[in-house]
Amino acid sequence: MTATFRVVDGHEPTDDTASATFGDAAVTVAGTMDPAGCNRPVLSTVNYSATDGVAHLAVGTESPYESTRDVECGNASFDYRCELAVDDGRPEAVEVLHDYRGREDRSFTFERD
């Protein structure tokens, strides 16, 4: 399996969202996170079970700065996009977790139509 993750845009804070588009042997997840402070979304973990056809995607947060002591950061939401391609089978569902470490996580589940 391969996963390509990127932050697409930053903007005024909004609620978390996620959506999924399924292809033959791939799924594209697009979402919005509000990580607060200097943090940005990062791909924490991704895995896929060919047995049940479920992809699991965890998006965490990380500061792009080594130390945020001297950095003034406002709050923003960030749009991200992750493209997952599998080698065995085809994704029938994807479970997305927005992992906030210390704050309430958000989770989303999408199934192929």
Confidence of residue 1 (pLDDT cuts 50, 70, 90): very high
pLDDT at 68 over 60: no
Confidence of residue 67 (pLDDT cuts 50, 70, 90): low
Q: What is the pTM of this model?
A: 0.91
* pLDDT tens-digit series, residues 4-15: 999 999 999 999
Q: What are the DSSP calls for 31-94, one per residue?
A: EEE---TT-EEEEEEEEEETTTTEEEEEEEEE-SSS--TT------EEEEEEEEE-SSS--SEE
pLDDT at 22 over 90: yes
